[in-house]
Amino acid sequence: MQNNVIQRAVTAYTVVWFKRDLRLHDHAALEAAAARGPVLCLYIVEPGLWAAPDAANQHYQFILESLRELYRALRELGGQLHVVTGEVVDVLDRLHVLAPFQGVYAHEETGNGLSFQRDIAVGRWCRAHGVGWHEFPQFGVVRRLSNRNLWQAAWEQHVTQPCRKAPSDIGFATLPWPDVTPPGPEALSLSLIQPPHRQLGGRSHGLEVLQDFLIDRSKQYRGGISSPLSAPTACSRLSPYLAFGCLSLREIVQATRQKILALPASESRHKAGLSAFVSRLYWHCHFIQKLESEPALESRNLHRGYDGLREHDWNPERFSMLTVGRTGWPLVDACVAMLRETGWINFRMRAMLVSVAAYPLWLHWQPVGQWLARQFLDYEPGIHWSQMQMQSGTTGINIPRIYNPIKQAQDHDPRGVFVRRWLPALRRVPDSWLFEPWRMPPELQARCGLRVGEEIAEPMVNLEAATRAAKKRLFERRAEPEVRAAKAAIVDKHGSRKRSTPSSKKIPTKKAGTQLSLEF
């Protein structure tokens, strides 16, 4: 089939602005724009966004890999993906002067505060220039949600709509200036360092991970996602492909539900794992909806009664030791080492890291969250900032979860396989001392070739005493009458209304009004 490549002189075209939706399949914005006529497919590298404290080179490289695959897919259709560097309004302004267009088509994005303000500016620019601004939902997130009671039905409606096939016959417009190679990370002030063993970007990689999970790895999903030993294979590992839109939420939900229906009744464990996974896709959007409904969640306490709880006690030394994996608690430091190498750890270990930062180290969640955003390849702002505040106890509606890193190691790495893998200095330490090596007698340290304070740090604080003091401060604040009184409004706006899991009636239900306790 021959495609019509429109020349620069043609003005009756629209712009499809790719953001965190790097695919052709199930792409509502592309489908709608292509139905109107010629399209210019555009991705904009925005220096302002890449200068933000939550941006990392690994995110940029994952995106570039995904863009290369998207470029090839569009070339097969006779068109091209144009990658331009600049702030979005400036790029649109220049483009409109040289080759006026009728509309901008894009997916909605619930990102950080900068992307939120950028989208507002784009809408303002479009209105000022008489250009249509068309946005389409990508997740089960509702813009201007008036009542949280309506949300679950909206999510189900979104994920059950038919997936849109990749368009096969598109008229393409071209960029009215020469294409330029995207800038390197140094030009965007990004550190050149990135995890050497992170997942690779691109839709083809995402589809391979999805099929591998549905066919095999999901059998271990229930019961396997908490331990850092089993989680790397038991977890779906689809999160970066969702975060950057190489795969759509809808296609993953539908593929998983189809697999559940196709399995025989004898595969009950496999069915249960897949059902639990669909449930977590629901919670994925539940958390993003929180940021959509309250963008300030990224920068201030959800419950303002917790303002001042930690902000004035910032300890840069403790934060520095956390970021380099020198807290002295082996499981914590092993998780930091794994993040440094892979860009991923499982949710239980993420929660444990934030808990250690928030309680015994008594660090405010925002700088810790910015650091972790750069470490997580699958950084999704809505989930990330909701979880940072939940685990730090500043939502005001969730029961505080305070993880003891020694007990977590005993529960999830009882033989020390994970710790020894990521902390080679501890490989000769006996099991009985492994998770508290600072208690080892000096002569035993010498026999193990270990010096506490050198190869492994000594804890900066006494874990029990520091945690006890942190809990006291938190619960004293929670008990204040004005803090308790403000809780109801937060529950009404952000609390879960979930009565049953959309994927299966066999998953335990929650009573209306209860709060989430999720090992996502």
As a whole number of angstroms, the distance between CA 244 and CA 380 comes to 9
Fold annotation for 14-173 = Rossmann fold (3.40.50)
DSSP output for 363-429 = --HHHHHHHHHHH-TT--HHHHHHHHHHHHT-SSSS------HHHHHHHH-TT-HHHHHH-GGGTTS
Give the residue-averaged pLDDT of 468-488: 93
As a whole number of angstroms, the distance between CA 396 and CA 484 comes to 8
Query: Strand, coil or helix: what is 452?
Result: strand
Domain with CATH 1.25.40.80 in the chain: 203-294
Q: How confident is residue 490, by pLDDT bands cut at 50, 70 and 90?
A: confident
For residue 228, pLDDT over 50 is answered with yes
| CATH number given to 304-493 | 1.10.579.10
Q: What pLDDT was estimated at residue 11?
A: 56
Domain with CATH 3.40.50.620 in the chain: 14-173
Q: What pLDDT was estimated at residue 489?
A: 84
Lowest-confidence segment of 95-99, 216-220, 392-396, 419-423 by average pLDDT: 392-396
* Higher-scoring residue by pLDDT: 167, 377: 377
Q: What pLDDT was estimated at residue 518?
A: 37
| CATH number given to 203-294 | 1.25.40.80
Domain with CATH 1.10.579.10 in the chain: 304-493
DSSP output for 102-154 = SEEEEE-----HHHHHHHHHHHHHHHHHT-EEEEE--SS--TT-S-GGGHHHH
Task: Give 14-68 pLDDT, tens digit per residue.
Answer: 999 999 999 999 999 999 999 999 999 999 999 999 999 999 999 999 999 999 9
For residue 506, pLDDT over 60 is answered with no
Give the residue-averaged pLDDT of 245-263: 98
Q: What is the mean pLDDT of the chain?
A: 93
Which tokens in the block code for residue 245?
């839109």
Q: How confident is residue 398, by pLDDT bands cut at 50, 70 and 90?
A: confident
For residue 173, pLDDT over 60 is answered with yes
As a whole number of angstroms, the distance between CA 45 and CA 86 comes to 6
Q: How confident is residue 519, by pLDDT bands cut at 50, 70 and 90?
A: very low
Question: E strand or H helix at 199, and its extent?
Answer: none
Closest by Cα among 176, 152, 278, 285 to 221: 278
| Identity of the residue numbered 411 | D
